[in-house]
Amino acid sequence: MSHIKVLTVCLGNICRSPMAEGILRQTASERGITLELDSAGTGGWHAGEAPDRRAQAYMRSQGLDISGLRARQFRKEDLDAFDHILVMDRDNLRNVLMLCENEAQRAKVRLMLSYWNESPSDEVPDPYYGGDEGFALVYDWVRNAAQAFLHTFEAHER
């Protein structure tokens, strides 16, 4: 049986999207769901790098090890390879939609926070230039969105 394939996307692929990948892996396994997961950045500057040390540390404090992930740039092929492409902010959304060639591809792309009805914002703020509290906020918001995403998926896709 093939699993649902989910790609999380941010700018650098070293903070938000690898955290989202780890959070989805955790929340899915709590629900007994297996997803095929990956993450990517719309920019390629950090390709090959492990997640930001602050992202790794915060995730470790929540029982999640994302140290083995390596950054890569988003590519056109991802639009066919994945079933859901969850982007962190409106810049990511615009950049990914720009690469879409048909409606089926466009339909896969959504702001991750759009799944969480009570979300204070539709964008996950970039924590890269801020303090540790930014990483805690990413974790909190993305975890809520991940739960809502998985709920929709359980209700409509199984």
Residues that bind ligand 4NP (CB under 6 A): 10-16, 41, 45, 126, 128
Closest to ligand 4NP by CB, 18 or 153: 18
Residue 16 annotated to the active site = yes
Catalytic residue, chosen from 72, 83, 110, 126, is: 126
Q: How far is the CB of 4 from ligand 4NP (least distance, A)?
A: 23
Catalytic residue, chosen from 16, 38, 52, 89, is: 16
Closest to ligand 4NP by CB, 82 or 135: 135
| Beta strands per DSSP E along the chain | 4-10, 35-41, 84-87, 109-111
Q: How far is CA 49 from CA 44, 105, 109, in A?
A: 10, 28, 25
Grouping H, G, I as helix, E, B as strand and the rest as coil, residue 132 is helix
HSE-up of residue 10 (Cα within 13 Å, Cβ side): 24
Closest to ligand 4NP by CB, 16 or 108: 16
What helix, strand, coil percent values describe the chain, rounded to 5?
45, 15, 40
Q: How far is the CB of 152 from ligand 4NP (least distance, A)?
A: 24
Q: How far is the CB of 16 from ligand 4NP (least distance, A)?
A: 3
Sheet holding 4-10, edge to edge: 35-41, 4-10, 84-87, 109-111
Residue 126 annotated to the active site = yes
Closest to ligand 4NP by CB, 13 or 147: 13
Which residue is nearest to ligand 4NP, using beta carbons? 12
DSSP, res 53: H
| Residue positions annotated with a catalytic role | 10, 16, 126
